[in-house]
């Protein structure tokens, strides 16, 4: 049924008749991406996760991201925007939602093959994004992150979930991480700008050596200090628990060339690096939701495992990362 829907989406958009088979390609951990060929061109179609789209705030979040995508495109930021069809970026068919993109002939860098130059270029793009509509704001009390870890453990216990021993083993670090996030959020400087918290290596396509940012659904207004710290760690290898502090240095060098708000005390806000707990919670609910498909639940279990490992690694390396930040920003 999905292939038929993708064909309809393309043809309803007036992009021509689909030739050959619709093929699924890598599309991240939430949505599904397909390649579609027509006589007039090749397109990527993203099928948005129906579970995500049922959230009460989902449509507002996507609409906001679409408006910010247009602003970044007009500012000359190298991005791959969704196509606008009949005045809309998001396309709907039978209660499900899609985005259409021009196909990019490029590649995503393997997590283990990221270079210092790529980090520098990525940092520069992030800095350029942060210069767009950047402003100082009056202090706003940050909403604390409150996650009921005990409740999730009890829920996992009731259904004998394979994530139960993992959560039990990491109770202490989960409490530590949540406290660290909330302390850091309260210490962030009062700056707001356009941010893309999802601009990690899997969401940057390299076309003839040039970076193009893809998957822009997370565009929002946010704090640049929080986002540059988190992204510098992702480009430096925190995702695979193989951190290279020189790569983090390269990311910051590119970033500060494009945008420098004068903030230097990143050690005081290091706790935002533990924002991984929010991704962890999403995947815990995924792993425990019996209404989801077995594949969705399995993906949730895998990501719970990976994310807990990341949190453990981050805690072990915290002091060395903070020392590295102090050297970079001295």
pLDDT digits over 73-120, tens only? Answer: 999 999 999 999 989 999 999 999 999 999 999 999 988 899 999 999
Rounded to a whole number of angstroms, the CA Rg of the chain reads 20
Whole-number Å distance between alpha carbons of 272 and 275: 5
Task: Please state the pTM of the whole predicted model.
Answer: 0.91
- The pLDDT value recorded for residue 28 is 61
- The pLDDT value recorded for residue 122 is 98
| Second-level CATH architecture of 2-103 | 2-Layer Sandwich (3.30)
If DSSP states are collapsed to H, E and C, what string results for the chain? Answer: CHHHHHHHHHHHCCCCCCCCCCEEECCCCCCEEEEEEECCEEEEEEECCHHHHCCCCHHHHHHHHHHHHHHHHHCCCCECCCCCECCECCEEECCEEEEEEECCCCEECCHHHCCHHHHHHHHHHHHHHHHCCCEECCCCCCCCCCCCHHHHHHHHHHCCCCCHHHHHHCHHHHHHHHHHHHHHHHHCCCEEEEEECCCCHHHEEEECCEEEECCCCCEEEECHHHHHHHHHHHHHCHHHCCCCHHHHHHHHHHHHHHCCCCCCCHHHHHHHHHHHHHHHHHHHHHHHCCCCCHHHHHHHHHHHHHHHHHHHHHHHHHHHHHHHHHHHCC
State the span(s) of the chain assigned CATH 3.30.200.20. Answer: 2-103
pLDDT digits over 277-287, tens only? Answer: 999 999 999 99
- The pLDDT value recorded for residue 27 is 60
Edge-first strand listing for the sheet containing 219-222? 135-136, 191-196, 219-222
Look up tokens 């690694």; give the residue. 313
Length of the chain: 330
pLDDT digits over 212-251, tens only? Answer: 999 999 999 999 999 999 999 999 999 999 999 999 999 9
Domain 108-328 fold is Aminoglycoside 3'-phosphotransferase; Chain: A, domain 2 (3.90.1200)
pLDDT digits over 117-151, tens only? Answer: 999 999 999 999 999 987 777 777 778 999 999 99
């Amino acid at each position: 049924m999905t292939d038929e829907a993708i064909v309809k989406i393309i043809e309803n958009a007036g992009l021509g008749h689909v030739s050959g088979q619709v093929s699924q390609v890598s599309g991240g951990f939430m949505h599904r991406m397909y390649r579609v060929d027509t006589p007039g061109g090749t397109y990527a179609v993203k099928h948005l996760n129906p579970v995500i789209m049922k959230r009460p705030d989902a449509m507002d979040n996507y609409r906001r991201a679409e408006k910010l995508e247009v602003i970044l495109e007009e500012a000359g930021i190298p991005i791959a925007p969704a196509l606008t069809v009949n005045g809309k970026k998001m396309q709907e068919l039978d209660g499900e939602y899609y985005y259409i993109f021009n196909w990019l002939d490029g590649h995503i860098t393997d997590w283990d093959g990221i270079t210092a130059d790529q980090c520098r270029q990525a940092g520069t793009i992030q800095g350029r994004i942060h210069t767009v509509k950047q402003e100082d704001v009056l202090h706003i009390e940050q909403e604390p992150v409150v996650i009921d870890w005990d409740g999730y453990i009890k829920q996992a216990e009731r259904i004998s979930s394979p994530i139960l021993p993992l959560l039990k083993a990491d109770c202490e670090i989960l409490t530590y991480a949540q406290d660290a996030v909330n302390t850091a959020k309260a210490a962030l400087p009062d700056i707001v700008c356009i941010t893309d918290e999802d601009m990690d290596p899997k969401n940057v396509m390299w076309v003839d050596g040039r970076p193009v940012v893809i998957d822009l659904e997370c565009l929002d207004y946010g704090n640049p200090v929080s986002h540059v710290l988190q992204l510098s760690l992702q480009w430096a290898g925190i995702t695979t628990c193989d951190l290279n502090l020189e790569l983090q240095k390269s990311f910051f060098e590119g970033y500060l060339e494009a945008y420098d708000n004068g903030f230097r005390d990143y050690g005081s806000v290091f706790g935002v690096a533990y924002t991984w707990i929010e991704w962890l919670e999403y995947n815990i609910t995924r792993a425990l939701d019996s209404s989801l498909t077995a594949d969705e639940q399995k993906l949730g279990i895998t990501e719970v495992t990976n994310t807990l490992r990341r949190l453990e690694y981050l805690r072990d390396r915290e002091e060395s990362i903070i020392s590295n930040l102090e050297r970079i920003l001295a």
